A and B are shown apart, each in its own frame.
Chain A
Amino acid sequence: MIKAILIFNNHGKPRLIRFYQYFAEDMQQQIIRETFHLVSKRDDNVCNFLEGGSLIGGSDYKLIYRHYATLYFVFCVDSSESELGILDLIQVFVETLDKCFENVCELDLIFHMDKVHYILQEVVMGGMVLETNMNEIVAQVEVQNRMEKSEVSDVKQGL
């Protein structure tokens, strides 16, 4: 199970926060801060796995992260997930974002946080990996986009 997905930038500013297990609001913020603290002090040439952040649940949990230029993508998972598998899932997710936003950048994540959430929903659902096939994810997102466009044009016609 994936317990949480956190995306923050090099300064620790959260860009996307998604918890699949309930934590109180202040606890969430504390987890974000601690995770950032743990991840940011690691060099780029060390391994992408971190164990036992005491906040999110002890020895069974792992932080698996990737660092892209200004953004950290951190997945907090339990032992039932494969480490390398998740690492590649992060890659799939980022590539999907890239496809959907046409050269994704941090600004896209900031201004279209809702869209990023919708894309994520097609990859991970309730903490479970739903889809790992990028084309499939993009197709699902596109269906929603079409609906959006048709609705906008409906409104225009109505006017």
Chain B
Amino acid sequence: MSDVVEKTLTALPSLLSLDPQPGSAKLSSTSKLGNLIRGITELTSKHEEEKLIQHELASIKDQVSSPNTSMRQMKELMVRAIYCESLGYEASFTYIHAIKLAQQGTALEKRVGYLAVSLFLNESHELLLLLVNTVLKDLQSTNLIEVCMALTVVSQMFPKDMIPAILPLVEEKLNHPKEIIRRKAVLALYKFYLIAPNQVQHIHNKFRKALCDKDPGVMTASLHIYLQMIQENPEGYKDLTASFVTILKQVVGGKLPMDFNYHSVPAPWLQIQLLRILALLGKNDQSASAVMYEVLDESLRRAEMNHNITYAILYECVKCIYTIHPKSDLLEKAAKCIGNFVLSPKINLKYLGLKALTYVVQQDPRLALQHQMTIIECLDHSDLIIKRETLELLFRITNAQNVVVIVEKMLEFLRVNTDDYTTIDLVGKVAELAEKYPSDTMSTVFSVGGDMMQPDIPNSFLKLLSEGFDSVEEDRKLRLFAVDSYITLLQKEPGKLPQRFLQVISWVLGEYSHLKDELEPTVVLKLLAKLLDMKHTSSETKSWILMAMTKLCEGGAEVSVVREVSETYSSSMDTVLRQRAHELQYLSQDSELRAKVLLRDNGLRPLEVDSSLSFLDGFVSEALAAGAAPYKPPHQRQEELAQAKALSLEPYGLSLPMSMSSCSITDRQSPTLLSMSSGLSGDSAEISHKGGSTSLKLDGVKRVWGREGYLPQRAAVEEAAQVEVPCTLRSPSQQGDADSSHSQTPTSTPTPTEPDPEKQQLASLFFGLSSQSSVCLMGKPEPTPHRFRRKAKGVTDPTSSSLISTPSNVEKLLCNNLLDSNIASELAVSSAKQITELPQGLKTASSDIKQNNPSLIVDNGIVAAADEDPDRPKDLCLISHLPAELSELCHSEITPLCTIQSILCAVNSCQYRGDGIFPVAWGGPSGSSVLIQTPFNHLHQVTHVSAELKKSTQCLSFAHSDVTFPCRPLTVSTEEYGTMWLSFSHDTKQNLTLIGDGQEALTATLNVLKQKLQLHVVEIIGQEGILSCRLLQDQPCLMHCRVHAGTLAVWLRSPVPDLPDCLIYHCQRALQEY
């Protein structure tokens, strides 16, 4: 068939040039559209075309606005407008007429109107609202074609807000006798589901009915919806697995009418859709997978015909088999299929084969090994797309042995590639590899990738460089190497380097050039100054350079260079540059200040971020004492603003019986509320307010004291633990040091020009794979390889470096082959050793922590005891002061804390609605009582305050600084979590440190949080995890964690304002303690 098409299409140019032909006679040659088109084809320049179209548009405009134009003529005009628009000329004046045509015309005119509307407008266009009524009318029409048109336009674009208006009508159409209408209605509903899922929630069972429709076409349409819904929630549709399998069985078995065959394959698109659904359902589910095996086998067997569409089915089949719970004989068949794909001479199939390989290679690296020859060939394929796909595949099988060759291949591709998008993608990948397997490739990446790469790549590279790896020695070498190579680069021809790279260079030189003893700072400074003078250096880069210079100048000979530079730039137009220049000037003159500001620190110095900003406490309390208003977070300010605007309907005399939550508001909120709740005369309310504010102030001050008081203790304990842990961890890396001292750097520039490049590539590409699979490391789940990778670096590096240091290539090749087995065994031994070593180290560490733990528990014990201690007579009279809403609850003995100007403060622990025990501090003048702290808000502060107050009254001193955070796990499902997440307004984000490294870090960290803080782990998906907890019945807090760049990015949400902040603090503490 395509041959016929091709023939006619080849004949086209001749048709175009000649006038009325028998073929084109049927094309309304006399119509105005015909004239327009003919006019355009005759033109030669873009400019002429523009002129003609503008003229045309002007005449269309005249005619559409004329009242004499009939609907029939309008139809013709509309087609011309569509034509102009498709050429890229705007005809917005016709939009309203298109809608009018759809509203008023006959069926045929409507058709043009609808078409024009759907081509011209988008979902959010305001004119679309005018169409809603028309659509409503047409949906109810008895003319099938009109109904079809309405459904089509609805699924093409419909304003989201107007969906409810037509939803019932569309739903009704699911029962329409005509299957074409039912099918279109299903698709329209699917579209609604995509743009507004919550609006079609109630008709899920109607989807099921559509799935069971007697017409296979309607059923096929409903699969769109199911594919989407199962993708979002596979658990919810497990019960349908058997039905889908049955459907597929029937289709494969040829039970459908012959009509559905395409090239004698029964309903191939339907099969593809079903296979995708099955893959989703069978993923990680053995029982569901078991149901599918038979039909998958059948599909594989049936799809043996040599036609494109059967390959499409095969491809889906293979993907499905590798996604669901594995079954060995199916896997074997699938592997064979992939082999056929990869080996196929048809390029499309090769492409898909590579894609399939990329998909399965993580599970079964041997498959790549089988096809290594083909893969190597594909690397040199003339089609860039195939090449890229191959690189993608290689990226997945990269390991420490083959990384050099693979990166080299990628860089090679980068040099010839012209497509920006691919470059960005690939540079990212190379950077990722360089990060995993550190080497000097980053220089090449920066110079090739240029300014196009994403900004986080240089950042993460610098982070890597500064945070270093396991051993100090290795870091030093890498940094030295970086300094060396960058100096050489700058000495050559810095003018060609991209800006980003220059920035990286200047940072590295500023930070690390002192590592190289023989290098005079003046030399570096001069090089940097030369960069500054270059014309095309951007001002951003210049400020990087100036910063580097600031770090470098130590007084002495270099001062003259620095002075010159700083003088030039201190009058720069760019404020940032001027700022930097001034900094440079001052710091270069004042060496004392300089030493203070720029600490030169060789060791690993992680920056501690004090998220609670406790160092500002002193300042804050001073400000408060001086009468400043306390800080309110923005949401609270808004709330108050809203409250202030609204009329207060509550009576002034509202007295004591109030809810806990209103108490919590009282202590932080506006004075009016406070006085209201105290329920006393204006005078005493004033006092109580004062009391509140004094206690607030105390809070701030005392907290600092509290911290100071307890910090030494805790620090001492931590130190002790640290002494233990690093020791055990260091041993493997020390070993690595000893080994890696063979060579200067693990990987220097590879030499791809070998006598037998292909063989060499082969060896080095799959080298690691084969050796690793012999130790069965790839086959296992992630944790081992990762740990293995990190720890074994010292062991693997020397092999590659010894490869490079061997003098001749032949020897190198030999070496490769020989080493293959050697290394395998060596690796096996060493990794085993290290793995056994590691747990021991961990064990000692954890036992240390256990030793810490009891002491914490003991601390808690003391608290409990302390609460019972105080003398009873006082307690009795204190009970009368207990706030009303607390007095009915169970509580422990009340401990008076102090009395300040007739204001009594006391602390006790209180059981609240059977939900848990909280310490509560409250106080007030005798006769009244105001809670000064609600339990959760500033729990630790309360204890600090109370502890301090106690000290001052000489009653008892608290021997602990920490109270376990009083939350409980909140068991929710992932969906519930999702809806809750969206509904909560207060949130906090922060990065926390991860415990452990590699794939397991997330799980490990979350487990610690689970143990320490009783959080409920809802689900862990890849690198993300969600947790939940609650404080009280209706005070939940949700936590979302993601592993990002070696830290745990945490996002907390809760309906309770301070809860996220409080929880994050406790998480931080918990992880620190661990």
Smallest beta-carbon distance B413→chain A, Å = 14
Q: Does B1003 contact A (CB under 8 A)?
A: no
Smallest beta-carbon distance B1→chain A, Å = 5
Q: A70-B10, A107-B16, A107-B24 are in contact. Are A95 and B1 (CB under 8 A)?
A: yes
Which residues of B are found within 8 Å of A88, using beta-carbon distances? 262, 268, 308-309, 312
Interface membership of chain B positions 80-121, coded 1 if the CB is closer than 8 angstroms to chain A and 0 otherwise: 001101111010000000000000001110011001000100
Q: Is the CB of A54 within 8 A of B33?
A: no
Q: Which of A121, A136, A147 contacts B152 (CB 8 A)?
A: A121
Which residues of chain A in 104-140 are interfacial with respect to chain B, using CB atoms and an 8 Å cutoff?
Answer: 104-108, 110-114, 117-118, 121, 125-126, 128-133, 135-136, 140
Q: Is the CB of B421 within 8 A of A84?
A: no
Q: Is the CB of A103 within 8 A of B4?
A: yes
Q: Is the CB of B86 within 8 A of A113?
A: yes
Which residues of A are found within 8 Å of B111, using beta-carbon distances? 118, 144
Which residues of B are found within 8 Å of A103, using beta-carbon distances? 4-5, 8
Give CA–CA (A17, B88) in the complex, Å: 10
Smallest beta-carbon distance A143→chain B, Å = 7
Q: A85-B268, A126-B156 are in contact. Are A59 and B15 (CB under 8 A)?
A: no
Q: Which of B23, B88, B188, B420 contacts A107 (CB 8 A)?
A: B23
Q: Is the CB of B308 within 8 A of A135?
A: no
Q: Does A60 contact B (CB under 8 A)?
A: no
Q: Is the CB of A133 within 8 A of B260?
A: yes
Give CA–CA (A78, B221) in the complex, Å: 18
Q: Which of B4, B217, B422 contacts A136 (CB 8 A)?
A: B217
Q: Which of B15, B27, B82, B382 contacts A114 (CB 8 A)?
A: B82
Give CA–CA (A22, B123) in the complex, Å: 8
Q: Is the CB of A68 within 8 A of B2?
A: yes
Centre residue among B5, B11, B350, B352 by max chain A CB count within 10 A = B5
Give CA–CA (A16, B85) in the complex, Å: 11
Which residues of A are found within 8 Å of B383, using beta-carbon distances? 42, 46-47
Which residues of B are found within 8 Å of A80, using beta-carbon distances? 227, 276
Q: Which of A51, A105, A128 contacts B191 (CB 8 A)?
A: A128
Q: Does B1064 contact A (CB under 8 A)?
A: no
Interface membership of chain B positions 697-733, coded 1 if the CB is closer than 8 angstroms to chain A and 0 otherwise: 0000000000000000000000000000000000000
Q: A25-B88, A68-B9, A106-B12 are in contact. Are A83 and B312 (CB under 8 A)?
A: yes
* Chain A interface size, under 10 / 10 to 19 / 20 to 34 / 35 or more: 35 or more
Which residues of A are found within 8 Å of B348, using beta-carbon distances? 47-49, 83-84, 87
**Helix, strand, loop or mixed for chain B's interface?**
helix
Which residues of chain A in 35-67 are interfacial with respect to chain B, using CB atoms and an 8 Å cutoff?
Answer: 42-43, 45-54, 58-59
Give CA–CA (A103, B9) in the complex, Å: 9
Q: Does A91 contact B (CB under 8 A)?
A: yes
Q: Does B650 contact A (CB under 8 A)?
A: no
Give CA–CA (A80, B144) in the complex, Å: 31
Q: Which of B184, B351, B382 contacts A49 (CB 8 A)?
A: B351
Which residues of B are found within 8 Å of A143, using beta-carbon distances? 144-145
Q: Does B469 contact A (CB under 8 A)?
A: no
Smallest beta-carbon distance B479→chain A, Å = 34
Which residues of B are found within 8 Å of A83, using beta-carbon distances? 312, 315, 348, 351-352
Give CA–CA (A98, B6) in the complex, Å: 11
Which residues of B are found within 8 Å of A111, using beta-carbon distances? 24, 27-28, 33-34, 37
Q: Which of B6, B33, B85, B115 contacts A118 (CB 8 A)?
A: B115
Which residues of chain B in 1019-1054 are interfacial with respect to chain A, using CB atoms and an 8 Å cutoff?
Answer: none
Q: Does B886 contact A (CB under 8 A)?
A: no
Give CA–CA (A99, B840) in the complex, Å: 76
Give CA–CA (A80, B269) in the complex, Å: 13
Nearest CB to that of B41 among chain A residues? A110
Q: Does B948 contact A (CB under 8 A)?
A: no
Which residues of B are found within 8 Å of A53, using beta-carbon distances? 421
Nearest CB to that of A121 among chain B residues? B152
Which residues of A are found within 8 Å of B889, using beta-carbon distances? none
Which residues of A are found within 8 Å of B388, using beta-carbon distances? 51
Apart from A82-B316, A85-B309: 18 A-B pairs, beta carbons within 8 A: A22-B123, A46-B347, A68-B9, A69-B5, A69-B10, A83-B348, A83-B351, A87-B308, A91-B1, A94-B2, A103-B8, A104-B8, A107-B16, A117-B119, A126-B157, A130-B184, A133-B217, A136-B217
Can you name 7 A-B residue pairings with CB atoms under 8 Å? A29-B88, A84-B348, A91-B2, A118-B111, A128-B155, A132-B262, A144-B145
Residues of B that sit less than 8 Å from A by CB: 1-2, 4-13, 15-16, 23-24, 27-28, 33-34, 37, 72, 79, 82-83, 85-88, 90, 106-108, 111-112, 115, 119, 122-124, 144-145, 152, 155-157, 180, 183-184, 187-188, 190-191, 217, 221, 224, 227, 259-260, 262, 268-269, 272, 276, 308-309, 311-312, 315-316, 347-348, 350-352, 382-383, 385-386, 388, 419-422, 425
